[in-house]
Amino acid sequence: MTNPIVRIFETPLGQVICGLSTDSANVDNIGVKEYENGRSTSYRIGGHKVELIEFKIRQPLYNGETVKDSNGWIWRIEKREESIDNLKLTCVLSDYSDNVDFDTASGEHLDAIKASNNEWTLHIGTEDGEILNSRAESSDWFPKRLKNKVNFYQSITNILEEGFETEIPELQIGEQIHIQYLSAYDQKKSESVRTWLAVDEFKRKLENWVGIW
């Protein structure tokens, strides 16, 4: 598989790399779009249209706190034509030093990992299988036919030590999938959960903030 789409978010702990890999040799940039609080690039990859939206997380957070910096990526994938393109998304911390420790930090409706050293804390988060299944039930950018294929115990996203990888299921023409990854970092403070809160967001709230509607 090749990696035709890669985005990098520089942090004090290393680089958060978010990207897409595919078997398809047909990858074309088909345009950019400005949103109120974000910017997207769209691609034609085989029989799929892929829109990647990048944005900063809204601050202050709902508890009034802020984080040093953040970055978010929304992937909107639609099957347009018959093809088998094998799409995989990843969002991982890379190029980190030996003193960085990792831990899982998942919560209700959230899969998350934590990376930290003596000075900094970083979280990367995404929706868990339970919320993906909820979106399947209402055909909210997750195919209804995949209802009950994802749940609290299983998802199309795998948790890695350094982040996540999401295997996009083979879609039927007209089906759409929304996958989001959020990352935030700040100076380390005992008992603070602000970077964790920053990556714990629902799809609808992100769309409203970015201005996708």
pTM (2 decimals)?
0.96
Give how far Cα 93 sits from Cα of 32, 54, 127, 155, Å: 26, 17, 18, 21
The C-alpha atoms of residue 110 and residue 117 are separated, in whole angstroms, by: 23
Q: Is 189 helix (H, G, I), strand (E, B) or coil?
A: coil
pLDDT on residue 149: 87
Confidence tier at 99 by pLDDT (50, 70, 90): very high
Note the pLDDT tens digit of each residue in 42-70: 999 999 999 999 999 999 998 889 999 99
Q: What is the DSSP letter of 70?
A: E
- Which amino acid, one-letter code, is at 151? N
Per domain, the residue ranges of the chain are 2-210
Can you list the alpha helix ranges (DSSP code H) found in 122-162? 129-137
The C-alpha atoms of residue 142 and residue 92 are separated, in whole angstroms, by: 23
